[in-house]
Copies of this chain bind each other. A is one copy, B any other.
């Protein structure tokens, strides 16, 4: 069985997008439900998803374990797995790790662009590595089965998280820095350490992470995938599209500035281009996953490797990362 999984989306969710997931054949999507939200605000976002699950039982279902991906496939739906891009939902409270796992969270970034209580973000000048609380929280995430995600973290923090975590970690959405030198993209030594410990890299389609940004070609993207496979092995690659479909630019402002500054912070953008960039024309939305599959074949990946990158590698990782868990409704 081959699955199709996207390990990161943050769309302006509605029925149209859920239908596009079905058209695109997505069996599972890891969705961001918190950027800077507190615990209580995160719970409100889970409530929104509960309403979508209630209203669209033919299109989507809650994802808690790898087995839910198969269940979604069998019933023609997309399994939705929750994650956070910042540890803000656990606030300063390690006990919230288990609470949020019980509520469905399966991924948590230890930091977004800035310093967090746990780790350093890629926009800080200095990276002291994992903090005292960070070490405690990684152990707790390992215990309950919540995956450490270092997509937006700085290099030293990422390397230390790989070292400290007793379970493989993920970089759900980023590309190699050698291909596109965005601050967020990952250096070769980080990618090698990630794969060396059994971790996964989700290749990103967000234009600020692409060579030539919105003008990046499918071939160039897939050749980058091939070179990355040469570096760390194709079995450690997946897709983490970072699709932010139909979001207003106010959302990217929120992502960048949250509540931490009264000034404007353009993040990966600039004063001239402050908003969301246009997606490449070969990856507009969930319906275009087939283009990735075609493109990967064209650059020489064999069918098993393509199946791995399109979803089977994430499925295997989900199976190991989320631990023993009784799927809801079973």
- Inter-chain contact B117/A133, CB cutoff 8 Å: no
Task: Assess the B128–A94 pair: CB atoms within 8 A.
Answer: no
**Interface 1/0 per residue, A191-222 and B, CB below 8 Å:** 00000000000000000000000000000000
Q: Is the interface of A mostly helix, strand, loop or mixed?
A: loop
Q: Is A123 an interface residue (CB 8 A)?
A: yes
Given A117-B115, A133-B115: A94 touches B127 (CB 8 Å cut-off): no
- Among B91, B126, B131, B258, the residue within 8 A (CB) of A124 is B131
* Alpha-carbon distance between A259 and B95 when the two chains are bound, in angstroms: 7
Contact: A136 with B258, CB < 8 Å?
Answer: no
Return A312 CB to nearest CB of chain B, in Å: 36
Mask, A74-99, CB within 8 Å of B = 1, is 00000000000000100111110000
State the A residues within 8 Å of B (CB). 36, 38, 88, 91-95, 114-117, 120, 123-129, 131-133, 136, 140, 258-263
The 4 tightest CB contacts between A and B, nearest first, are A126-B128, A93-B259, A115-B131, A133-B260
Known: A95-B262, A124-B131. 8 other contacts (CB 8 A): A38-B92, A93-B259, A114-B133, A115-B133, A123-B132, A124-B128, A136-B263, A140-B262
Given A126-B128, A128-B127, CB of A133 within 8 Å of CB of B261: yes
| Residue from B92, B129, B262 in contact with A94 in the complex, judged by beta carbons closer than 8 Å | B262
